[in-house]
A and B are shown apart, each in its own frame.
Chain A
Amino acid sequence: RKEVEQDPGPFNVPEGATVAFNCTYSNSASQSFFWYRQDCRKEPKLLMSVYSSGNEDGRFTAQLNRASQYISLLIRDSKLSDSATYLCVVDSWGKFQFGAGTQVVVTP
């Protein structure tokens, strides 16, 4: 079983719609959680950290559920520029483990 699992998608989303997807992790001792975005095989860039109480950054909302060992990302009012692969990253004391990524395609 992989340490970090994501639905690969693609999630085809009309512009302006809301999309949400999850990521599960197997190591209960994991401390830190992140969502990264990767465009066209460029380097991943941090979208947002995921805090225990959940957090929001503009149109993006991240949640952490430690009991069920998953994190989620919700994108509201999707823009064409949100089309990308979203990578779930879980850190256990300096070992960053990546999910395979969830592809989101926002269509006009």
Chain B
Amino acid sequence: GEEVAQTPKHLVRGEGQKAKLYCAPIKGHSYVFWYQQVLKNEFKFLISFQNENVFDETGMPKERFSAKCLPNSPCSLEIQATKLEDSAVYFCASSQSPRENTEAFFGQGTRLTVV
């Protein structure tokens, strides 16, 4: 597609429930990034993929968070046993291969509210 598509737009989960977020990158983009933005705070990098392979997962919480990018499927970010502090907007972005001045394009985000 011509834009990064994230679903759902809004997600409400009770504490302890699972949340699964999806992201379809722009066609032809081989890099996918997930970021978490809490309230007005900065973007926290979670994980990136180069095609189906994890490229950088240094921002991923070791427990409860997992992510995948499988061929011919949207990428996904899953949070097991959600906590109140997981409430945030989760943005997905995609870009072409990392060469100079290749920008990342962002999806509209998924607003997760844990109650």
Contact = CB atoms under 8 A, between A and B. Distances in A.
Contacts of A94: 31, 48, 50, 55-56, 95, 97-98
B98 A49 contact: no
Contacts of A42: 108-109
A96 B93 contact: yes
29 contacts: A31-B98, A32-B101, A32-B102, A34-B101, A34-B103, A41-B37, A41-B109, A42-B109, A43-B91, A43-B107, A43-B108, A43-B109, A44-B43, A46-B103, A46-B105, A87-B43, A91-B98, A91-B104, A93-B98, A94-B98, A95-B45, A95-B48, A95-B56, A96-B45, A96-B104, A97-B45, A98-B42, A98-B43, A98-B45
B22 interface: no
B103 A99 contact: no
A59 interface: no
Interface residues of A, number: 23
Given A31-B98, A89-B104, 9 more contacts: A43-B107, A43-B109, A44-B106, A49-B103, A91-B102, A91-B104, A95-B48, A98-B42, A100-B41
